[in-house]
Structure formats: structure tokens, C-alpha cells
Amino acid sequence: MYVSVTGLKTNGIVGWFRFWVLAVPALQAAKRAPGLQFVSTKVRHGTHHTLTVWTSKEDMMAYRRGKAHRRAMKVFSQIATGRVLGFESDDRPSWEEALARYDRDAREVGARG
């Protein structure tokens, strides 16, 4: 299975509002996506985290190419900063395991340059 852990920190109140306008449809699309085995969200230290577990990396990539995710990514750098981590696993990690690995290995995305 393929595990994806994301963490997004919004830029101010406008970024927070825009984040939620885009995040809700993206989360609903993920819940309907083929290959999704598990999805959960959590806020930690002001960062909005999502933990998803997919049957395969290909299933996760197909979701990423979908309309709701693409729409959110188009404006991502304007509304948030973040880090992502993806890895293969034989078992679904707990939140504690996923966040420990995220803290250690995640890479930054969407940085404005």
C-alpha cells in the first residue's frame, strides 16, 4: 500500500478561508477515489494534516490528477505553505507513526520563490 502524509499551514485569515473552500471538495473527492483505503485529518501545531492510505501509488497519483486536487494546487502557494511525504508500507501507520516519519522525512512543497 501507499501512504501519503501532508501538512499545510495557511497564510493568514484569507488563506485559511480559501484553504477550507478548496480542502473540503478535495477531501470529498479523495473519499470517493478508487483505491483509497483510509483517510483522516488532524490539526497539529497550527498545521492541517491529512493521512491517506491507498492500494497503490498509481491510485494516489490518479486522485492527484483529479479536478478537485488540481484546483487546490493551482492556488496553493498563495494560501499556504506545506510539506508532503509518501512511502510504501505493508501496514497502515498510526497517526503517531505517520507524523514521526513526516517530521523526519517530509519535503517542502509550493514554496514561493
> 2-109 has which fold?
Alpha-Beta Plaits (3.30.70)
Q: How far apart are CA 52 and CA 31, in angstroms?
A: 10
pLDDT digits (tens, 9 = 90+) for 40-77: 999 999 999 999 999 999 999 999 999 888 887 787 77
According to DSSP, residue 46 is labeled T
Instruction: Tell me the angle at which helices 67-79 and 12-32 cross, rounded to the nearest 10 degrees.
Output: 160
pLDDT digits (tens, 9 = 90+) for 12-41: 888 788 887 888 888 899 999 999 999 999
Q: Tell me which H or E stretch contains 100.
A: helix 95-105
CA nearest 34: which of 7, 9, 6, 62?
Answer: 62
**pLDDT confidence bin for 113, thresholds 50/70/90:** very low
